[in-house]
Amino acid sequence: MVETEEIIKTRSVANKMLNIEAATVILCGLLFLVFASLEYAYSVILGGLAFIVPNVIFVMFSLGATGAGSSRKTLAFFLVGEAVKIVTTIAIFAITIMSVEALYIGIMFLSYGFVLLMNLTGLMVLTNK
C-alpha cells in the first residue's frame, strides 16, 4: 500500500513538472515571437519539445507500469523507458535539423538546455517539500 501511495506522489510530481515545463516553453516561444521573429520562436519551441516529448514517454513507461508486478518488472519498464527517451530525443533533433530549413540550431539547443536545468531544479524543489 505504501508503494502505491509513493507511486501516485511520484506521478503527481512528474506531471506537475511536465506541465510547468510545457507552459514555460510556450511562454518563451510567444516572447520570442513578439520580440524577435517566427524563426526564433519555433526554434525555442522545438528545443523545448525535444525535451518534453521524450520525458512524457519516459514517465508513461516508468511510472505507468509500476505496481503491476515485481521490482524486476518495474526496473525493466524503467530501463526501456529511458532507452526510448534517449532514442526519441536524438530522433527529434535529427528530424528537426534535417527538415526545418530556417532553424536557429543554437537557440534550439539553448532552449533544450534551459528546460533541462529547469527540470532538475524543479524536481529538487518539489521532492524536498
pLDDT tens by residue, 75-96: 788 888 889 999 999 999 999 9
| pTM attached to this predicted model | 0.83
Amino acid at 24: T
Domain with 79, as residue range(s), is: 2-127
**Backbone region of residue 58 per phi and psi (left: phi > 0; alpha: psi in -120 to 50; beta: other values):** alpha
User: For position 33, what pLDDT does the model report?
Assistant: 93
**How much is the average pLDDT of 86-111?**
94
The full length of the chain comes to 129
Higher pLDDT, 74 or 67: 74
Q: Quote the number of domains for the chain.
A: 1
Q: Of the ranges 6-10, 77-81, 82-86, 112-116, which one carries the lowest mean pLDDT score? A: 6-10
Higher pLDDT, 10 or 129: 10
Cell of 110: 539553448
